[in-house]
Amino acid sequence: MTTVPRIAVIGSGAIGSFYGGKLAYGGCDVHFLLRNGFDEIKRCGIRVRGKKENFHVTEVQGYKTSDTMGPCDLVLIALKATDNDALLTLIPPLLHRQTMLLTLQNGLGNEEFLAQHFGAERVIGGLCFICLHRVSPGLIEHFDYGHVVIGEFAGEAKSRTHDLAREFTDCEIVCRVADDLMQERWCKLVWNIPFNGLTIAAGGITTEDILRDPGLRSAALGLMNEVIEAAKNCGHTLPRDVALEQMQRTQTMGAYKPSTLLDFDAGRALEVEAIWGEALRRAQARGTPMPRLEQLYALLKSLNDHRE
């Protein structure tokens, strides 16, 4: 990385605005692709408010197209996985020989997509553990958490991975480097699969509602155990207490609505394949039965397909 890396943010929703905003507020040279809300963000900047985070980036370097941004050292990808095809035209103008691609997207398969089209050597994966809501373009409500885990798509962490983590840390983003990115991905799915899914399947409820209802709490634990077993059979043994830890973490969130539920309520396409479908397919390819996930995936896919 250069002394002051030039960073592009593709996907300026809640995740992209928060982490891109933190980097810009911390002094990095950050450039935002603003495909909607351009005028408002250029006029008012990016503001993050919450009980633990309150900051305002008053002058945002924003662009309506990636063609006008120019090559960058790091491209931070925060688009929904449902928009991955758009990356085929958005990313090429941002590349130079050593440009890194850091995906902060949910689920499985995003690193493989980037590696296929832009080269595995560029790709780094990142997992965001944060509770956010985009109130309007440029205004982000931060509820809790905020740390990031990053790792190389191909192999163990490199010096550039640690350099990038230090850059995040210098901008007050808690960041940890992982040597097994896919293990971290499966670990996050232990939470994402049950809680993102059941909040929709149960009629638009919160994570607190799931924990309070004995049947839904049991369903969440059953899904968690299926994910843990699938991860093991795919070569990624998760910590023994991962399910308990995730349940305890959820209790601190209060009446939280996950991002997928917010997408559903807003009529946006759901990341059904990245979060539920790909995990199911990989498990089945290894001979791992996942009846609870299979049923949940079918329901969410049907809801998504009928609405589209």
pLDDT truncated to tens, each residue of the chain (308 aa)? 557 799 999 999 999 999 999 999 999 999 999 998 999 999 999 999 998 899 999 999 999 999 999 999 999 999 999 999 999 999 999 999 999 999 999 999 999 999 999 999 999 999 999 989 899 999 999 988 889 999 999 889 999 999 999 999 999 999 999 999 999 999 999 999 999 999 999 999 999 999 999 999 999 999 999 999 999 999 999 998 999 999 999 999 999 999 999 999 999 999 999 999 999 999 999 999 999 999 999 999 999 998 76
* Catalytic site positions: 188
DSSP 3-state of 104: coil
Residue type, 230: A
pLDDT at 4: 77
How many residues make up the chain in this entry?
A: 308
Complete domains list, the chain, with CATH: 6-179 (3.40.50.720), 183-307 (1.10.1040.10)
CA distances from 286 to 124, 189, 190, 223, 237 (A): 25, 17, 18, 17, 14
Distance CA 190, CA 178 (A): 17
CA distances from 269 to 62, 81, 90, 245, 260 (A): 25, 10, 20, 30, 9
pLDDT at 307: 76
pLDDT at 139: 96
Phi, psi of 111 (to 5 degrees): -65, -40
pLDDT at 306: 87
CA distances from 63 to 16, 28, 33, 161, 216 (A): 14, 17, 5, 27, 44
CB 191 within 8 A of CB 239: no
Scan for tokens 């990636």, then name that residue: 66
pLDDT at 222: 97
Distance CA 169, CA 43 (A): 29
The DSSP result for 208-275, as a single string, is HHHHHSHHHHHHHHHHHHHHHHHHHHTT-PPPTTHHHHHHHHHHTT-S---HHHHHHHTTPPP-HIII
Residue type, 20: G
Distance CA 60, CA 139 (A): 13
Phi, psi of 151 (to 5 degrees): -160, 160
pLDDT at 144: 84
